[in-house]
């Protein structure tokens, strides 16, 4: 639960995080990406999954997730595979 609280605190908008069976099932939030992180969608997604891997129940996000597609505006991920 500490990771979820850290994620809520990092959100720049009021967050909605739904948890079921001890795992995050959905979330609506906005987290600022540090200036040193590249601005393309894939790199931002990799940063987020690495920094919040404990909230996402991932041990090694780079090996557990695969980028399938990114939205045309490069702001949203589409169809990540777990």
Summarised one tens digit per residue, pLDDT across range 51-74 is 999 888 888 888 888 877 777 776
Q: How far is residue 31's CA from residue 46's CA, in Å, rounded to a whole number?
A: 13
How many domains does the structure of the chain reveal? Answer: 1
Phi, psi torsion values for 49, nearest 5 degrees: -65, -30
What confidence category does residue 79 fall into, taking pLDDT thresholds of 50, 70 and 90?
very low
Mean pLDDT for 9-19 is 93
Instruction: Specify the pLDDT at position 8.
Output: 93
Which residue, chain included where needed, has tokens 């994620």? 7
Higher pLDDT, 14 or 75: 14
Domain that holds residue 62: 2-78
Closest-CA residue to 80 (of 33, 52, 41, 51): 41
pLDDT above 80 (res 12): yes
């Amino acid at each position: 639960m500490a990771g979820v609280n850290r994620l809520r605190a990092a959100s720049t908008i009021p967050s909605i995080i739904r948890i079921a069976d001890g795992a995050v099932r959905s979330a609506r939030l906005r987290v600022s990406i540090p200036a040193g992180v590249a601005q393309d969608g894939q790199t931002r997604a990799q940063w987020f999954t690495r920094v919040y891997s404990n909230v996402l129940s991932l041990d090694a996000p780079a090996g557990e997730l695969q980028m399938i597609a990114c939205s045309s505006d490069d702001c949203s991920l589409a169809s990540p595979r777990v």
